[in-house]
Each structure stands twice: as structure tokens, then as C-alpha cells.
Amino acid sequence: MAKPKTYRDAVEQANALVAEARLADPEEHFPYKLDEATAWLEAGAPAGPGAPGQLDGTDDTSRTPADYTSQQIIDASADYVEAQAAYLTHPNDDTRGDYESARDRLQAARLDHRQHRTGGFVIGAAARRV
């Protein structure tokens, strides 16, 4: 990499390096594991919290994956991660707009899941406390 000539060039170069490192990091969520997440939800395996000294969470049938997520959330998460990767690769107004739209769709999917999970009507800040 060439030495940056201005502070702005240095910041852009640093941001590009950070984005590149995030995309290559195996601990990050790129690419999103859509098939694995869908299979987990469809399997409906026990996913309860368990009880210390009594019941392991993987044996606790009081909760299933559907209590924690929905296919709508899984699909929205995949779109969000894809949009985030596009923005990290090519940061511009278009990819940022796509990223923000995907983030909003993911948030809406989560709120919808909370509303249906609780059987109640949640709105605004109250939804985040459910």
C-alpha cells in the first residue's frame, strides 16, 4: 500500500483495512449462515435455559428455537449481513442506504416476532422491554 499523502487518505486507507479485516475474520458473521440458521429453526430442538444442577439447556423443552427467532428474522439477518458486507467493501451513499434499509427490516422483523411471541400489542420503546 502506498503511503497516504493527506490525513483524509490515511483515514480512508485505515477504514479500508479495517473493513477488509472484518470481512476476513472467521469470528465475524460473513457470510451469514442462512442454511444453518434455517435448519436450526426447522429442527425445533430443545433450547430451554435449563436449571443449574438439574436440567441441561439442550434437554429443556420449555423453549424451542421458535421462541428466539423466526424465519422472517433469519431472512432479514441474511439481507442485513449481505448489505453490511457490501457497505464495508464499497462504502458509498447507495450501499449505506441499502445497509440502513436492511437494518430497519431486521428491526421490524424482531419487533414483529416479539409481538407475536408475547401475544400482546407492543409499540415503540415498550417493544424493546419485552
pLDDT of residue 129: 47
- Please write the tens of the pLDDT for every residue from 17-46: 999 998 888 888 778 888 999 999 999 988
pLDDT of residue 73: 95
CA dist 19 and 16 (Å) reads 5
Q: What is the mean pLDDT of the segment spanning 82-97?
A: 94
Q: pTM of the predicted model, to two decimals?
A: 0.75
pLDDT of residue 30: 77
Return the domain boundaries, the chain: 1-29, 31-128
Place of cell 420503546: 125
Q: What is the mean pLDDT of the segment spanning 81-108?
A: 95
Burial 38-62 (b: 16+ CB within 10 A, else e): eebbeeeebbbebeeeeeeeeebee
